[in-house]
A and B are shown apart, each in its own frame.
Chain A
Amino acid sequence: MTSATAEASHPVTVEKKFMQQVMVNTPGETHLEMCIQCGSCGGSCPSAAEMDHTPRSLIALIRAGNFEEVLSSNTPWYCVSCYYCTVRCPQEIHITDVMYTLKRMAVHAGIKDPCAAPDFSKTFVSWVENYGRAFELGLMSMFRLRHDPLGVLRITDMAVGMVSKGRMDLAPKSIKGLKSLKAIIARAKALEVVA
Chain B
Amino acid sequence: MTEKIGVYICHCGSNIAGTVDCPEVSRWAAEALKARGVVVARDYKFMCSSLGQELIEKDIKELGLTRVVVGACSPHLHEPTFRGACGRAGLNPYLCEMVSLREQVSWVHTDKAAATAKAKAVVSGGVERVIHHEPLESLRVPIHPATLIVGGGIAGIQAALEIADSGTPVYLVEREPSIGGHMAQFDKTFPTLDCSACILTPKMVTVGAHPNITMLTYAEVTNVDGFVGNFAVTIRQKPRYVKADLCNGCAVCEEKCPKKVVDEVFEAGLGYRKVIYRPFAQAVPKYPVIDRENCTFFLKGTCKACEKFCPTGAIDFEQKEEIITIQVGNIILATGFDLFDARRIPQFGLGRLPNVFSSLEFERLCNAAGPTNGRVVMRDGVTTPRAVGIVHCVGSRDKHYNNYCSSICCMQSLKFAHLVEERTGATVYNFYIDMRTPAKGYDEFYQRLLEEGVIFIRGRVAEVTDVPQRPEEEGRLVVQVEDTLIGQQRRIPLDMVILSAGLEPRHDAKQVAKMFGISCSADGWYIEKHPKLDPIATMTEGIYIAGVAQGPKDIPASVAQGAAAAARVMGRIQQKEIALEPVRASIDETRCSGCRICNNMCPFNAILYHADKAVSEVNPALCQGCGTCVAACPAGAISGTVFSDQQVLSQLEGLLLRNLQPATV
Chain A residues in the interface with B (C-beta under 8 A): 36-45, 48-49, 53-54, 56-57, 84, 88, 90-92
Contacts and interface: CB of A to CB of B under 8 A. Distances in A.
Nearest to B485: A39
Contacts of B480: 43-44
Given A53-B487, A56-B487, A91-B399, 14 more contacts: A36-B397, A38-B433, A39-B458, A39-B462, A39-B481, A39-B484, A42-B487, A43-B459, A43-B482, A48-B482, A54-B484, A57-B487, A88-B462, A90-B400
B488 interface: yes
B412 to A, nearest CB: 19
Contact of B460 (A38, A45, A49): A38
B432 to A, nearest CB: 9
Contacts of A91: 399
B600 interface: no
A84 B346 CA distance: 13
Contacts of A92: 399-400
Contacts of A57: 484, 487
A90 B399 contact: yes
B461 interface: yes
B33 to A, nearest CB: 37
Interface in B451-489: 458-463, 480-484, 487-489
A39 B460 CA distance: 6
Interface string B327-371: 000000000000000000001000000000000000000000000
Contact of A88 (B347, B397, B488): B347
A48 B463 CA distance: 14
A151 B381 CA distance: 53
A54 B461 contact: no
Nearest to B397: A90
A54 B462 contact: no
Contacts of B481: 39, 43
Contacts, number: 68
30 contacts: A36-B433, A38-B433, A38-B459, A38-B460, A38-B484, A39-B458, A39-B481, A39-B483, A40-B460, A40-B482, A41-B482, A42-B482, A42-B489, A43-B462, A43-B463, A43-B489, A44-B480, A45-B489, A48-B482, A54-B482, A54-B484, A54-B487, A54-B488, A54-B489, A56-B487, A88-B347, A90-B393, A90-B397, A90-B398, A91-B399
Nearest to B459: A39
A123 B129 CA distance: 78
Contacts of A40: 460, 462, 482
A42 B461 CA distance: 10
Contacts of A44: 462-463, 480
7 nearest A-B pairs in the assembled complex, by CB-CB distance? A43-B462, A42-B482, A39-B482, A48-B489, A38-B460, A90-B398, A39-B459
A109 to B, nearest CB: 24
Interface of B: 347, 393, 397-400, 433, 458-463, 480-484, 487-489
Contacts of B433: 36, 38-39
B266 to A, nearest CB: 31
Nearest to A91: B399
Contacts of A84: 462
B573 to A, nearest CB: 46
B82 to A, nearest CB: 37
B115 to A, nearest CB: 19
Contacts of B460: 38-40, 43, 90
Contacts of B458: 39
Contacts of B459: 38-39, 42-43
Nearest to A87: B400
A90 B400 CA distance: 7
Nearest to A45: B489
B307 to A, nearest CB: 54
Nearest to B484: A39
A90 B460 CA distance: 10
B484 A37 contact: yes
B593 to A, nearest CB: 53
Nearest to B347: A88
A88 B462 CA distance: 8
Contacts of B397: 36, 90
A57 B487 CA distance: 7
Name the residue among B398, B458, B483 with the largest chain A CB count within 10 angstroms: B398
Contacts of B462: 39-40, 42-44, 84, 88
A56 to B, nearest CB: 6
A130 to B, nearest CB: 39
A44 B487 CA distance: 13
Contacts of B399: 90-92
B484 A42 contact: yes
Contacts of B483: 39
A49 B482 CA distance: 10
A43 B478 CA distance: 12
Contacts of A41: 482
A40 B348 CA distance: 12
Contacts of A90: 393, 397-400, 460
